[in-house]
Amino acid sequence: MRRALLIPVLSLLAAASLAATPAFAGHGKEEKGAPVAYFALETITATTIRRDGRRGVMTLESGIEALDPKVMERAKQSEPRLRAAFAQVLMTYTAGMPRGAAPNLDYLGSRMQEAADKVLGRKGAKVLLGSAMVN
């Protein structure tokens, strides 16, 4: 008796999921004329010393925002160099970070902004930091 009730319920759920798909088909599409003003870089990691004295890893998510299309194109072309510069800043910071201290994202953001301006050769790209975690 349970099986007889289960089959109609599952077929109803399957039909409902298929019917709902076209309603959200346009969701998430980019507008045609809108220029891309942001892209995220891969997560950057560096080793640090945790509170208990063991080695830990600090991870940092970052991205670049540029409203000028020329600066954005230059930033996309320079993505490997930006990642290398950001990794160098993060490794230098974590090497001198006190044991068990919370990361200072204001300081990291300003150093990474300087590194981005240096790599790109001009100002106009803004470094945005996401989450930072010490594990």
Domain with residue 91: its CATH number is: 3.30.479.30
Report residue 41 CA to chain centroid gap: 6
The model carries a pTM of 0.73
Phi-psi region at 28: left, alpha or beta (left = phi > 0; alpha = psi -120 to 50):
left
pLDDT of residue 110: 97
Tell me if 62 is assigned to some domain.
yes
pLDDT of residue 9: 57
Tell me if 21 is assigned to some domain.
no
Number of domains in the chain: 1
Give the DSSP letter of residue 47. E
| Full domain range(s) for residue 121 | 38-134
Residue ranges for the chain with pLDDT beneath 70 = 1-33
pLDDT digits (tens, 9 = 90+) for 21-53: 444 444 445 556 678 899 999 999 999 988 888
pLDDT of residue 100: 83
Tell me if 92 is assigned to some domain.
yes
Quickly count helices (H) and strands (E) in the chain. Answer: 4, 4
